[in-house]
Structure 1
């Protein structure tokens, strides 16, 4: 159905193309898990130099593992704990250049060295987070944060 895209050279333009591709992929489908599964697969195809990409969703005041691409991961994360729990609690995106320097980091994959987490907020309420890990230090930039926040906006528009 979808083949590997030849994304533009500019990072910001790559994210515009990715957002358009994600929107086309999700349009017409209402199943949350199908959409998040396809979103994580698309992001895994898009990124280079990552080892995990996926979602954690709020359930009973904690984050619970959702659709992802990568090695098995932590299943439950309390709000305020680790990078994902902190992003969910504060409702703010977090870029961590070195996860070993992040107080309270939860090491689900010892190979992960840097991380970016984008909260998914719908109608003012935390719905979950998008989490991307890399085996490289300092892998993620402000351009990645801005681009991934746009990706999350596309996702939110397809969440019922």
Structure 2
């Protein structure tokens, strides 16, 4: 049986703004400043809670759309915040933000040999610039065309030149 009223399937109504916020964060504004977005998120939640505690005093039963708009906006902003916080390029200690000559990496999966290239992903642990080490974070996808690279395994640590794009 198909629901005649959207209130009968709330998961769809609540999931759509959350997914739109995730999509908005991925495709449009993934490098937005999290401070102002977090402030907006907290203010929206505070307004929602305040309005719920004063439901009768403000006669909100006459403005039922107000709660719907608030919860939709809260879910949209929450999805957007999740995307921004998850993106590793936004971290302050990402290896691409520090000048370096060499990177100390640790292989985090089993290397795959395909078409003469050894492909692997690695976690960047340290950057070395002029003999000084700095702790950094991030992930690199590496492709190596060398016969000696066939001896690389999960967990190996490598010192590589910091030439990446």
Considering only CA atoms, is the larger Rg found in Structure 1 or Structure 2?
A: 2
Normalised by the length of structure 1, the TM-score is 0.25
User: Taking CA–CA contacts closer than 8 Å with sequence separation of 6 or more, which of the two structures ends up with the larger relative contact order?
Assistant: 1
User: Higher helix proportion, which one?
Assistant: 2
Normalised by the length of structure 2, the TM-score is 0.25
